[in-house]
Amino acid sequence: MSENPTTSNFLRSMVAGDLQSGRCQKVVTRFPPEPNGYLHIGHAKSICLNFGLAQEFGGTCHLRFDDTNPVKEEMEYIESIKASVRWLGFDWGENLYYASDYFEQLYTWAEVLIVAGKAYVDDLSAEEIRGYRGSLTEPGKASPWRERSVEDNLALFRRMRGGEFPDGSKVLRAKIDMSSPNLNLRDPVLYRILHAPHPHVGARWCIYPMYDFAHGQSDAIEGITHSICTLEFEDHRPLYNWLLENLPVPGHPRQYEFARLNLGYTVMSKRKLLQLVKDGDVGGWDDPRMPTLDGLRRRGYTPAAIRLFCERIGVGRSDSWIDLSVLEDCVREDLNEKAPRALAVLKPLKVVIDNYPPEQVEELEVPNHPGHPEMGSRKVPFGREIYIERDDFEEFPAKGFFRLAPGREVRLRCAYFIRCEEIVRDAGGEIVELRCNYDPATRGGSATDGRKVKGTIHWVSARHGVTAEVRLYDRLLTTASSTGDDWKAALNTRSVEVIAAVLEPGLAGAAPEDRFQFERLGYFCADRHDSHPGAPVFNRTVTLRDSWGKGGQSPA
């Protein structure tokens, strides 16, 4: 797999033009997450874009937590975000910042607006403010508190900071234009009262700036040259610029917008992801069904595959949906080159080879990767009793089925030809065992007399195989998208199946996050939390090919 870091997009062209024209001397970008949840694949696009642009043009990228809402923010989220950015392959160096570190400066600038007659303290409730704002077709209505004097506003704002008023009783609003066609300019709220401790700065504050007030000024403080946001912030750009133009900030960054990632068959809303966690629909933020970076990592996705995906989908100005299969293809492409092969049987069917010596055990040479001989080979034990996949046998084979059937011969991978001679059933009539014969002259998988077989199947020695828990994960949703209050109706009730599989003995020593291709089955990863050497637990990362097809349901 090769990543292409130079694919053109409008933002790369914009940055190159700004450097060439002299508008900026050095590119400074930032990735500014709010620490109110774990990062998901949509954030990965922004991370790759901001850090990638800085790397490409010899600049720097800051990691800044826009932590302006202590009610929803937690230190757990801060630490998980830092770990995910590092895991994805990016380093902010010394450029780690928090908007909360600028609270004193932001407060001072809020007073500057008040003194200039461009901000006022409002006693309207949040519901009343919404009602006064108007609509897209009707202008807003001025608050009865809009014409308070500078002295009154300044005194009230300082009393707000001093903790004299309860939550929701007062806000600070910018005084812009209640008839503006852009609703974001209709006297937006700049500060609200929240008597809540902050995960980074503790209990020093009881008023907190709104995101729109903190964001642009934080960019200016840090010398950001390109403030790159998703398209939902396009209508906020006039407010971003108004604040920069009306405050004595040290610089004037520019905001650019790109289309956010809409990925099919999963959930891309932090609010909905949090609901899944709280309601117990998943096992946590890092559940392998989740589109969080922690979930994808635990499932077995690689940073390289995610970076390739972000580059492959491109950067545009129009919203569009990306099918989940694009992401799955990227991890297949990466793991196909990197993952060593292994033998595993997920749904075991016992096979007894009657003419094989009962106590004999052979060590067969099996390549670790058929396409990369430099990865070497390993010894795999073979004996009289083995397991094969139940799906590799049919009593009444359909046309086109070339695997094992009564009287039919198949090749065991890197072993021998075997022929099915007898079927053994239990009392209920279920097939529980096959009796076969083997041809000793076909060791290694080829016949000395030149005869051919059409089917090759994998196997594991029954005596030496390791029983292990394997989790077969599938898509989180059964539909490409899910909206409305009943969005949970689209949750895939078959999104995980836990089975007891039989693995070749070498897999017993797999370390957490070791990745393998289980031959003919898919790519699997040793669970980073539950798997331990000697007691492996494997998660299916992805099948070898798209099992959903065009609009179809996964069979697993």
In 190-292, alpha helices (H): 211-222, 237-245, 270-278
Run of H or E including 350: strand 348-353
For residue 289, CA distances in Å to 319, 419, 472, 505 come to: 24, 40, 10, 28
For residue 541, CA distances in Å to 291, 328, 446, 528 come to: 12, 9, 32, 13
For residue 118, CA distances in Å to 101, 108, 397 come to: 24, 14, 81
Backbone dihedral angles phi then psi of residue 247, each to the nearest 5 degrees: -130, 150
Give yes or no for a contact between 143 and 132, defined as CB atoms under 8 angstroms apart: yes
Q: Name 497's bridge partners.
A: 472
- Active-site residues, by number, are 34, 260, 270
- 347 secondary structure, DSSP code: S
CA distance 229 to 259: 9
For residue 371, CA distances in Å to 7, 223, 341, 374, 514 come to: 28, 49, 10, 9, 19
Give yes or no for a contact between 61 and 31, defined as CB atoms under 8 angstroms apart: yes
- Secondary structure string (H, E, C) spanning 124-178: CCHHHHHHHHCCCCCCCCCCCCCCCCHHHHHHHHHHHHCCCCCCCCCEEEECCCC
Q: Is 341 helix (H, G, I), strand (E, B) or coil?
A: strand
Q: Name 31's bridge partners.
A: 63
Q: b/e per residue, 209-245, with b = 16+ CB within 10 A?
A: bbbbbbbbbbbbbbebbbbbbeeebeebbebbebbbe
Write the burial class of residue 556 (CB in 10 Å: 0-12 exposed, 13-18 middle, 19+ buried): middle
Give yes or no for a contact between 330 and 301, defined as CB atoms under 8 angstroms apart: no
- 111: tokens are 């007073």
Give yes or no for a contact between 276 and 249, defined as CB atoms under 8 angstroms apart: no
CA distance 184 to 527: 46
Q: Is 101 helix (H, G, I), strand (E, B) or coil?
A: helix
Residues 6+ apart with CB under 8 A from 422: 434, 435
CA distance 378 to 395: 33
Residue with tokens 């999963």: 266
CA distance 112 to 247: 7
